[in-house]
Structure formats: C-alpha cells, structure tokens
Structure 1
C-alpha cells in the first residue's frame, strides 16, 4: 500500500469510524446537558424602594417617572433590586430595563399600564410576528441587557382590553406591509411602524438579552403576546401565572433564542401557552439563528394550544423537551407543530414525555400546510419522539400528520400513548417511518370473542 493511502486509511478510521462503545445519548442525558447550561441570574443585594423615587400605589398617580428614576439609579450603582410594595401603580408608558436589575413586585402590588399609545413612543427596535421592525415600545422592555429579573407575588396588567387590543381589527394593512418588507429585504431602518400604524406592542419583551429570570408573578390582560424572548439566551421562567384573554395572548414566545427552562407555570391564555418561533420566511432563513435547547416541565396547560412550534420558524427549531405536564382546563390542541411552504427551515429532535390533557379538539397535529398556503420552501420535520401522552378525548382527531409531497414528515415515534375517545383516530399524509408502540385510541380491544 502506498504511503499516502496508508495515511488516508488511518484518517478515515480516526475521523469517520464510530468507536464500538459510542452510543446515542438518551433523552435524559440530552436534557440534563442542556440544564447544566441554564443558570438564573443572581439577585442584587442593593435594594431600591420604588416609593423613594416618588411612586404612589394609589391607582391614580403616574408612576412612569418613578420607574425611570429607579432604573437610572440601578444603572449608576451597577445593578439593584427595585422593590414595589403593595398597591396599584398606574404606569403611563414603558418600563425599560438596565443591566443587573431585578424588579420585585411584592404581594399585593399591581402594575397597570396606561392606554395612551403616544406614551409608548418613540419607536424601538422590536419584532412583530417574525419580522424585525421599529414599533411602539413593549410595555416592559429589555434591549441588549444582561442579568435581569422580574420576581415576586404581584401582578403585571397590560390593560390590553381597554387599550391596544382594540387595534386588532385595524392591523391588517400594517401587518401585510411588514410581511412585504420581510420578503423584499427592506432595510431595518426603513421599517418604521409607529403613529399611523396599528401593530400592538408586546406586554414584556427581552430582545438580545442574556441571563433572564421571571418568577412568581401573575401576567394578565396583555395587548399582544405576553412574554417574548427574542434573540436571547439563558432564560428561566418558573411559577408564573397567566390570565390573558385578549387576541393573540400567547404565554411565552421564545424566538431565535436558546437555553430556556420553563417550569411550574400555570397557563390560562386565549392563545398558545408556549409558542416556539424562529423568524418568518425570507428574513428567518437569512437570520439563521435556530431556537433550541428548550425545556418545558411541570406546567399546567389551559387555553388555545398547549405547546406549539411555529408557524414562524424559518430559522429552525430543535432540541425541545416537554415533560411531566398536565392540564388546568380545556385546550383546543395539545401538541401542535405547524409550518407552510413559505417558511423553510426545520423542526427536529422534539421530545414529549409524560404529558396529559383532558378534552381537546386535536391531540397531536403536525402540519406542513398551515393555512393551506405557501410555496418554494418546504420545512424538514423529523425526529419527533412522543411517549406517555394521554388525552381524555379528541373531538376532531387524535393524531394528524401532514407532510409536503417533496419533503415528507419522517421519523415520528409514538410510544405508550392513549386517547380514551376521538372522532378520527389517525390521519397521515406525505409521511415516512411513523412508528407506533403500544398506542390505544378509543376503547382498548381485549381478548377476541369466540364463535358461539
């Protein structure tokens, strides 16, 4: 054998051969490796009382100046915990976070945001349904900051029903314009959506942030999505309660974000409880930052859908774990993966284990044809592992998978799954390698009857 061929053979064995003792990591090992990367930020020992900055919890006084002063004081000190005591605090305008700052809402404290849209100007960098724009400020906004937290037993009320939510019926022209700018690649500096437009702001948004904690608070009455994690990482959200019933009142929306733990959350939302996203269409594919390493555990679902991936997911979603969750009420769908041929990207390595729902319309719904539209950019959906999933009933369908003719949904594994009652048990189209192990839909068939 010639010398260069010997070196080639050795290289192939070193880099291309799998060692006999190498093995695929288990679900638990993959999950635990992700958990090691997620650490809640430390809470500052420097304490600032909001009332020392002129705040009054009388439901009448405007506390926007007090929050601005407290944030600036925190910045000057290199970080602090801003404590809001019991009371009802009207805030006419956004709260903008600074580095190393915790906002603690003590028991009986409630923030209510004003409804004058002009108070949320000037416009700030943000995103709307998967497209980057400049728009009215989110009501609580953290942009390019680190080590921030919202904690306590108090309530954040977006006052959406009496404010921005009324824009829902007016938003279509601006919504379509934002999507056109996305497809056309319009420079971000030209995407200005402020006065004269009707795109509702988020209640809470963390944009390009690191080391985030949300714990204990109740989030209510959002004007749009409740909590949006955008291009952010190392996020812990636990023991949060939602009471958000306006249009598009999702609970948590991670987008272009990674290393996220959502646990012990009590959902009660008019829309998706958790909706994992990764940008829309042209812009999402160009941005190419996948949402990944997301763990959702010990939660109670209630609202439109339990856990959703998409439909804005063009940069891809991977490594999602949904574990040990149950339900607090009705959900239209339990697990919902949705894309269409405008999106592209991928959805892969999704693990659902030990989750239970009550009555739903659809149990598991995976579709490449969301809204029945789109062309040119089919999504790769594969490696979905669903184990120990139960439903009391599914009034429409138990398991639905709709692939794309040229890009089938493949490698979906259902193990130990039970649906007590449903209308249509299984509907599979454009699929490949869908595996069932111990799946019972409807009444389990026991010993066959004998001839009499």
Structure 2
C-alpha cells in the first residue's frame, strides 16, 4: 500500500460513477492521476476524484495510477469494482396519486411524504421543475430523493410544520428539537445503524426556512420554557446572547442519524434554520458536487459530522453563516459517557466564499481522530482550520493532517464560549497534527471588507501538565504575504513542535490586533 493511501471508492448510479481516492503522501501539487476502466484509459485529472459517464450496466474494474510530476514512473494506487445499477423507476410527485403543486404556495408535505413512503430500492422520488413548499419529511432505507434541474424543495417558515419534535442532538447534548426538513434515521446513541442505502441527488435546490424559521422556532421555544429561562437569569447573562438556550431547539436542513451508506450527490443545500447537514452516530456518508449556503443564518454551519465514522466531503462550495464544516462528538460528561468518536474523515477539493472555516470542536468530548484535509481553499473564511475545545470537555483531537491548502489561519486553542454544564473528567488532549504545504494568510476574511490581521499560526494548549498541544509539524508553511495579513505565530503550552521551511512574508504595514 502506498503511504497515505487507503481510500478508493465510488458514488454510482445509472447515469454516472464518481471515483474518489486519498491523496498519497508522495503526491505533490500538480500530480496527475490516470484512471482506467476495464483496461482502457478513461480519463486523467490533477484532482483526487473523477466522474465517468456512459458506463454500461453491470460491474467494471477501475484502477487509479499516480503520475508524479517530473518523473515517467507511474505508481499504481488501487483497484475497485464499480457496479452500475439499472435505471430506477421515477416516482414524480406531481403525478397521480400525489398531485404535488410546484407553485411555491401549496403545502405539499403529505403528498411528498407519501411518495417517499412508496419508494423502494428500484425507485426514486423526483421533484420536477418548480418550487414545492413542504414541512418535515422522512426517508427510509433504500429510498432516493432526486431534485431535478429547475426544482426547489422549499421548507416552510412555520414551526408547526416541523412538529412533533424529535429526539436529536444539538451542540453536543441530546434533547428534543424541531424536526429537520429531511430526516434520515432515528437517533439512538445505544443502537447501531438502523437506516441504510439512502441517496439524495440531482442538480436542483433543497432550501430551508432560513433565518425566518430560525427566529420563529427560537421564539416558540422561548415562550415554552419562559419559567426555566427566568430561573436561569444569572446564567443567561453569561451566554453568547439571549437566544443561546432557546435556539438549541431549532431543527436542521438535513439530519442523518444512526444511518450508514448515505450519499448526497449534486444538489444545492441552503438556509437550514441552524446547521445544514448534521451527521449523528452514522457511518459511510459521502457528500460531493454540492453547494452549501446559509449566509445570514446564525449558527448556519454547512456540514457537521457528529460521533460519526468514514465521512467524506469533496468538490463542494460553501458560503455559510458559521463553520463551513464542524466536526463534533458530544459535550462534557454526556459526550464522554456516550463515547462515540468521530473518525476517518476526508475533506478535499472544497472552497468557501464566506463562513468560519473547517472547525474541529468545540463539542469534541467523545474524541476526534484521523481527519485528512487537502486541496482546499479557505482563504475567504474567518478562521481557516480551527481546532477548539474548552477545558471542561475532556476527550481528544488527534491525527489531523492538512496538506496543500490555503487557509485564513491555523488555530488550535481553548475557547470560552459554549461552556455551560458540568465539567468532564479532565482537560482535552490535542496531539499529532501535521500541516504541510499550507499557506496561512493571517487574515480573517469578513466578507465585504478586507478582514483583519490575526496570527497566521495560533497554538495555545491547556494549562494542565500533559494537556499541552503536542506533536505538531509545520512543514513548507508560508505565513502572511497578502494585503491585510500577518506573518506572526503565537505559541503557548506547546510540547513537541517541529518546523521545517516555515517562511513568514507578512505585509510589513499590517498590525496584529
């Protein structure tokens, strides 16, 4: 096995097969890959994914070979059997017996839900061109929702359309929340995977109720727990704002819970009332070819794997109201006790035009390990790569590898927000991080303005002995070098820092505040 290469898989339907693979340790920028199918050349690419169209139904043997720059010696990476299924039967929601209306006014929840209930493994539910207003929907094992070109599945802005509430997890704590626009699976941290083989596809748009729904759900929850909030007045005064507690009842755009082998291929996903995609206690979830947007939505995260395994995200563009990605695993004693880590996460060929960046934490009490990020442009983000936790969390973050990326900054530190509740058994452990061929600009991108200068690298560990940030490698890292950026580093409570070819080239007129 080539070092750093252990992923080679495909998202496949009757129309196309998208192959994707790990970036080997030996691959430098500009490395080319050649793909063969059944022994014949099928394409080349400098990315670590390739979509093939026109494959006949049945099995095909695909291979990927690395062609390192400056050499004529190819390196065969792996081989995969790709099975192209037969075309599915379309269940079109406007047809009988469903008669959904794409006028943007008619509430179609019952009609679309019935179509989803009628969907079997040989079928897919099709949302055709038009705007289809709906409340909460559920998908079962073996079902597919296809949002066609020109189609918008539009979530309503009425909290009543997302009742009854469901058992969920928000900011690391299990609780009742409003249902999401689309829910796959039923949450149970003590159970295995109860929902399988679900697909959301197509070039159309799935749009939530956005900021209007977020406000309505928050106000409804505020009224419901008014007495509790009054009794917590002293605590509420320490929170981020007066919405911190009641807003935890909000649903998401798509929730995937206790599910495995889920594919989200192609659609634009926008404006959930909080996070857009939330993966909880799930395994083998792949998202690619999407656009995820939620600017203007508070806590509007993009893609959040939470106590989940084997999660892959690639070829996706973000413009979000909070983290574009937030990797989580529970909060404080509950997260420690449930003890389900998030691990084996791959993120590549992604970019943002707004949002906070790729975060790990702050809810990471169940542990996070084996995260690989490559070929991402996070220059237009607030924090870049942001590994964070509070001293109460316990748990760990380890084995994070970031290569060939441009980021606003590299930040690993303790934070003070979202720190309510009982403390866990000890401070977190942050260890074994590698940043290689990364350009850290030292600039928080704030959208319309030029941003502000911050340390390009901030490593601040915890103050308990043994809980420093440990074993960090910075190799071929460039700091600053852009207008408004900074070439500085700030280090505290760090043990085992290796730096090779780290070059600061900040704008000398920039001042860090």
Match of 1:73 among 112, 118, 121: 118
User: Which range is displaced more, 414-423 or 294-303?
Assistant: 414-423
1:28 corresponds to = 4
Match of 2:281 among 231, 234, 241: 231
2:155 corresponds to = 113
Change (3 A) 1:411 1:63: same
The Cα of 1:392 is off from its aligned counterpart by 4.0
Q: How many residues align?
A: 397
The Cα of 1:324 is off from its aligned counterpart by 1.0
2:53 corresponds to = none
8 Å contact kept, 2:157–2:216: no
1:390 corresponds to = 439
Q: 2: CA distance between counterparts of 1:262 and 1:240? A: 9
In the alignment, is residue 429 of structure 1 matched against residue 497 of structure 2? no
8 Å contact kept, 2:213–2:273: yes
Q: Secondary structure at the match of 2:111?
A: helix
In the alignment, is residue 323 of structure 1 matched against residue 381 of structure 2? no
Q: 1: CA distance between counterparts of 2:225 and 2:331? A: 16
Deviations 1:134-187 (A, max 9, x none): 222111111142111111111111022222235557868969989xxxxxxxxx
In the alignment, is residue 441 of structure 1 matched against residue 417 of structure 2? no
- Higher RCO, 1 or 2 (CA under 8 Å, sep at least 6)? 1
Going by fraction, where is helix more abundant, 1 or 2? 1
The Cα of 1:354 is off from its aligned counterpart by 0.3
The Cα of 1:59 is off from its aligned counterpart by 1.1
Q: 2: CA distance between counterparts of 1:273 and 1:176? A: 35
In the alignment, is residue 308 of structure 1 matched against residue 359 of structure 2? yes
Change (3 A) 1:32 1:101: closer
The Cα of 1:373 is off from its aligned counterpart by 5.7
Q: 1: CA distance between counterparts of 2:353 and 2:304? A: 16
8 Å contact kept, 2:442–2:457: no
The Cα of 1:371 is off from its aligned counterpart by 3.5
Deviations 1:168-210 (A, max 9, x none): 57868969989xxxxxxxxxxxxxxxxx987211111001001
1:215 corresponds to = 265
Q: Secondary structure at the match of 2:319?
A: coil
Q: 2: CA distance between counterparts of 1:431 and 1:208? A: 37
8 Å contact kept, 2:202–2:265: yes
Q: Secondary structure at the match of 2:440?
A: strand
The Cα of 1:128 is off from its aligned counterpart by 1.3
Deviations 1:297-356 (A, max 9, x none): 0111232322110000101000000011124x6211111000111111110000000001
2:189 corresponds to = none
Q: Secondary structure at the match of 2:353?
A: strand
Q: Secondary structure at the match of 2:454?
A: strand
Change (3 A) 1:197 1:378: closer
Change (3 A) 1:419 1:175: farther
8 Å contact kept, 1:40–1:212: no
Change (3 A) 1:42 1:434: farther
1:87 corresponds to = 130
Q: 2: CA distance between counterparts of 1:26 and 1:382? A: 24
Deviations 1:203-250 (A, max 9, x none): 110010011111111111220000000101111100110221110110
8 Å contact kept, 1:174–1:199: no
* TM-score relative to the length of structure 2: 0.71
Matches within 5 A, 1:92-241: 93-143=135-185, 144-168=194-218, 199-241=249-291
8 Å contact kept, 2:350–2:376: yes
8 Å contact kept, 2:293–2:302: no
Larger Rg: 1
Structure 1 unaligned regions, length at least 5:
1-24, 179-195, 446-452
Q: 1: CA distance between counterparts of 2:362 and 2:4? A: 27
1:399 corresponds to = 457
8 Å contact kept, 1:397–1:425: yes
8 Å contact kept, 2:479–2:486: no
Deviations 1:352-376 (A, max 9, x none): 000013xx3xx11101344396865
